[in-house]
Amino acid sequence: MKARSGFTLIELLVALVIFGIFAALAYAGLARLLDNRERLTAEQRVWQQLSQVFLRISDDVAHARSRGVRDAGGFPLPAFVGRLFDSRALAEPSLELTRGGELNYGGAPRSDLRRVAYRLKEGRLVRITWPVLDRAPVTEPLEAPLLADVETFELHFYDANGGLVDTWPTATSGPDVPPRAMEVTLAVKGLGRFKRLFLVNQ
């Protein structure tokens, strides 16, 4: 009588254990790969947002115009305003200016000027725009979030003599004269500090 060939129960159990070990190792490796991929994707998204923030600021100051405006109370505001950061809830934006070059998609006769501002609000950098230059008490600004996890938003300005100042306008610059250049420092949580210099349209 011929002996039957095949696997014994112990051999099957050993094979299952080995297979289970390899499956667990493969699953752990896949999980780490997916976690790293998600982390890299999130970091790439933040880097893209940071790049877009600097491009947006560069475009705004490159189109700066010497046109002052009036606030909701009817008081005049200079064409280009730079203030020290204030963390209070009702604090004014750190940067506010009149810019030109706005596209007119409808073709209706209107100005190409727009009042824009930047403000650090609860760890988010937001860009503010107003639908009109000279505001009324009922004028509502539009806030567009640009970047989250911002720890620092610092501005410095270069005057006509190349001097560096913390606020604009200065006592000698004139109310509607923009600075020659603007230095922006952004500190983003987990990424570090980034400093850029932008020439301002004269």
Domain CATH for 156: 3.10.610.10
Domain-located, residue 3? no
| Helix ranges, 63-186 (H) | none
Residue 121 lies in a domain: yes
- Residue 166 carries which DSSP code? S
Kindly state whether residue 75 falls inside one of the protein's structural domains: yes
Residue 105: the pLDDT is: 61
**1 part of a folded domain:** no
How does pLDDT run across 104-115, given as a tens digit for each residue? 666 656 678 999
- Please report where in the chains the tokens 């600004």 appear, as a residue: 141
Residues 168 and 183 sit within 8 Å (Cβ to Cβ): no
Say how far apart CA 45 and CA 39 lie, in whole Å: 10
pLDDT at position 42 is: 74
The encoded tokens of residue 59 equal 């475009």
In a domain, 5, yes or no: no
The residue-averaged pLDDT of 47-73 equals 94
Which of 41-50, 66-75, 89-98, 182-191 is predicted least confidently?
A: 41-50
Q: Within 63-193, where are the H helices?
A: none
Average pLDDT of every residue of the chain: 88
Instruction: Please tell me the pTM assigned to this model.
Output: 0.78
> CA-to-CA distance for 61 and 43, rounded, in angstroms?
27
- Range of 87's domain? 11-101+112-202
Q: Are residues 85 and 153 in contact, defined by beta-carbon separation less than 8 angstroms?
A: yes
The residues that bridge with 142 in the sheet, in sequence order, are 129
* Chain-centre distance for alpha carbon 26: 39
Edge-to-edge, what's the strand order for the sheet holding 150-158? 164-165, 150-158, 181-188, 192-199
Measured between alpha carbons, how far is 142 from 73 in angstroms, rounded to an integer? 18
Assess if residue 120 is contained within a domain. yes
Residue 4, in any domain of the structure: no
- CA separation, residue 49 to residues 52, 69, 122, 137, 142 (Å): 5, 30, 17, 33, 19
**Where residue 187 falls among pLDDT bands split at 50, 70, 90?**
very high
pLDDT at res. 140: 93
Residue 17 has pLDDT above 70, yes or no: yes
Query: How many domains does the chain fold into?
Result: 1
**pLDDT at residue 2 above 60?**
no
Q: Is 126 within the bounds of a domain?
A: yes
% of residues, the chain, pLDDT over 70: 93
| Per-residue pLDDT reduced to its tens digit, 134-178 | 999 999 999 999 999 999 999 999 998 999 999 999 989 888 899
